[in-house]
Structure 1
């Protein structure tokens, strides 16, 4: 299981939820030392358990197509583009399949990518598509086509006040100006694919004894043409001692 040694943010800093701020577009997608191992896990899941990690509604197909082009335009250093083929930082080669935009993206970048859209008459953004290889306690099939408030059940911190703040962030995020936050989770098992779902908020590992720390670097980005919001998730897992040292 690939474990990381470093993080692109300071774990010792914590602010009130939703604890989010801007990052440069050049830092939206990242490659770290666990890239090769995580990509191998992603490819295995897409090959053997695709229905559990990828879903796309017809409504979101234009957004998925646009997302593929946006990602290709903002690949981090280490990628090489040769026509319809991309060579990854680990040497793997991905043929661009525009008939399968999310499947292609799942083989290119470490980030899980979720599409959320809001049409006239909808009060909240709705999850309309995703490639989600590394879920932490939730199942994609159970969250598809649901609004933000329902997606966050059973998280008690996600009350009406926080829900309203998050919805304002989704309404206000602009193309080319991503927003970033990170969470803090403790796990007994370092496995990346942990769909759960949790029965309730108490169904978690003990943070005082759990041997692994898991954190998600979560970004919001609006697509300029379809106006869908992309929720990207870069997952980091490290052993307890390393995480505590970074939190000191």
Structure 2
């Protein structure tokens, strides 16, 4: 399947920002539908049908949070939906409350992860990750934040504490967001990679594609879990903003 590419980003990828680059987000803007919707959703449907065990995981402890998130997705994107919804691309998706993350994965472009506080850290207790950028859900599932970021060398103890304070401070109705910018030679959206086989970033050729994740962090008001919501953009070099692929 041809990778559906976007041509624009809804933010400036070269804007200077202090790490971790967190900004407040209007509550109504946590989901986006963009020009690559039809192609991305077709790919999501295929991955969830043919490779479900690789792109979806849910611990029973996170089921109520997943159901709450499904309700919020329906309220935001498909208000009034009952038994099924018809997506903007014309595909009808049944609302299966026995499979909340699988249903979410077919309703929106975004990947979602659920993190719940266990002890002193938030743990990844559920996720539907169709478009991983060089990591695998199975290696991160039921792991705390520090372990999730292996093998990111810059994610040291100081940053871990800052990130944990950030997650502790997220308030219901006050979502936060950030973005990253990566240069890729392969435009494929589904790029799982194990921790023992990290992505080789060195190449004599310039990256042909800009890959950027718009990452939203949102407190679920009823269960108190944190939803980490990722909208993935892949843009060809010729369409990338000036300077975005210079690093």
| Fold shared, TM-score > 0.5 on shorter chain | yes
- Bin of the TM-score, shorter chain as denominator length: over 0.9
Corresponding position of 2:208: 211
- Distance in 2 separating the partners of 1:105 and 1:205: 36
Task: Please say if residues 13 and 241 of structure 2, whose CA atoms lie closer than 8 Å, have aligned partners that are also in contact.
Answer: no
Unaligned runs of 5+ in 1: none
Closer/same/farther in 2, CA of residues 41 and 185 from structure 1, 3 Å limit = same
Q: Deviations over 1:34-85 (max 9, x none)?
A: 000000000000000000000000111111111101111111xxx5754211
Checking the alignment, whether the CA contact within 8 Å between 1:180 and 1:217 is kept in structure 2 is: yes
Q: What is the match of residue 92 of structure 1?
A: 91
1:16 to 6, 18, 26: 18
Secondary structure at 2:232's aligned position in 1?
strand
Residues 198 and 211 (structure 1), Cα distance of their counterparts in 2 relative to 1, 3 Å cut: farther
Q: Please provide the CA RMSD for this pair.
A: 1.8
Whole-Å separation in 2 of the counterparts to 1:28 and 1:9: 14
Q: Distance in 2 between matches of 1:186 and 1:65?
A: 35
> Is the Cα contact below 8 Å between 1:17 and 1:162 reproduced in 2?
no
Report the 3-state secondary structure (helix = DSSP H, G, I; strand = E; otherwise coil) of the residue aligned with 2:160. Answer: helix
Q: How far is the alpha carbon of 1:169 from its aligned partner?
A: 0.9
Q: Are the counterparts in 1 of residues 185 and 209 from structure 2 also a CA contact under 8 Å?
A: yes
Question: 1:182 Cα deviation (Å)?
Answer: 0.4
Deviation by residue 1:169-214 (Cα, 9 ceiling, x = unmatched): 1101011111000001111111110011254767225496011110
Deviations 1:126-154 (A, max 9, x none): 00000000000111011000000000011
Q: How does 1:83-162 map to 2 (within 5 A)?
A: 83-119=82-118, 122-162=119-159
- Number of aligned residue pairs: give it: 243
Question: Which position in structure 1 is the counterpart of 2:41?
Answer: 39
Moved more, 194-203 or 182-191: 194-203
